[in-house]
Structure 1
Amino acid sequence: MSDFEGLRALVTGGASGIGRATAELLAERGARVAVLDLDPSGVGEPLLGLRADVTDDASVRAAVEAAVAALGGLDVLVNNAGIGAQGTVEDNDDAAWHRVFDVNVFGMVRTARAALPHLRRSPHASVVNTCSIAASAGLPQRALYSATKGAVYSLTLAMAADHVREGIRVNCVNPGTADTPWVGRLLDTAEDPAAERAALEARQPTGRLVGAAEVAGAIAYLASPLSGATTGTSLAVDGGMQGLRLRPVQR
């Protein structure tokens, strides 16, 4: 496919996992792509790697301006940078709550705020936010993380309403548990990593974790000019976790 031919895209958190898979897919489909990440050292051509800390407004603005200058404009923003958190509402102190919201929510705000003046100049402007199944389903031991992703979902709808008449579409993708480096690190801390992986896989009706490339495909669908009538939408890539209620397997 070449639906992104001639378009310029920016992906935050794009050095690994879902962000990297998305950046590479957009490039394969014709886009010129800049990646913003705390550590872009592993990012090479055809991608442009730029260092940015989404918790620092000056850092974000400088990186966005550098990306726009190098790409010659901006058509697509993928707000993907994020961090995880475990525990119930009792298990994280105020500092942790501030830190995760600063990255997962305010980081998207800072990046979108810096990108909007450039997106307004594009005839194919699109923003895709990486949300989560945690925004719409109650998951155990994920109170803080779920709260941030609920905010991302609401933010997506509000942004879509604010900018639709400017020709800027805003959507989000809601992955289930994905096979990414962050989930790998989470499994490594478990008492029985194999059992924990099996439990996460069993939670999804497909019986496996979501692949980063599968999430990237959904992001590309939402960002593509071929989806020009799609805005204010959340697209689940969760192995059926949100909508399916399977009966237990009879043994």
Structure 2
Amino acid sequence: MVDSFKRSYGRTSDQMRPVTLTRDVMKNAQGSCMAEFGDTRVLCSATIEQSVPKWRMNSRAGWVTAEYAMLPASTNRRTAREYKGRKGRSMEIERLIGRSLRTVVDMRALGEITVTVDCDVIQADGGTRTASITGAWVALHDALMAWVEKGNIARLPLTDQVAAVSMGKVDSKLLLDLDYSEDSCAQVDMNLVGTSKGGIIELQGTGEQTPFNRDELTGLLDMGQAGITQLLELQNKVTNFRN
């Protein structure tokens, strides 16, 4: 049983865990951010290469991609390291991160470069993909700002912000930002990726144990968009981004 007044951090059903976005945590990355959603911690780093994939060559447009991994001790049981060709869940998540970021980048203004954002889960307690997307945007922003400051491109090619949050139904209650104890027994599991202009990039929703109805979907979306707003404000606070 999950009581909305006995959630982690004493939260109510529509409250997020404490969220921290810490910039410049890696020396060698052009942009980096440690995203902390409660006990979930994801290290996000963005690096720039002056080349593009072969299929993108001579397009006068750049590319943004992502990689995601969970470190072996990020969960209560050791997670085996993942290698190319043996990815499953991680591949699905990194594709989500990549397309979420690409949605808010002007690829032509980027020029023929590739930005790779690596999201490594140091500690997992639910919501690793949403923390990854939220922190990845900060790392991407800082990498592109560094590229502008070097005079390599004329302006910041970001068109908007992007952040993500989880929602779900647990013990018949609608909850925002699920931790692992809630996510592992959720009747409905959802993830929302959104922008500061109110746009939805992706909505992932599954009835894990029971179907959900239209009213519940509306309630979960309202919760999720309120959470997205909080995350966007925090991104703004640490980057001073204005679009």
Q: TM-score, normalised by structure 1?
A: 0.31
Structure whose residues are more often helix by fraction = 1
TM superposition score normalised by structure 2? 0.32
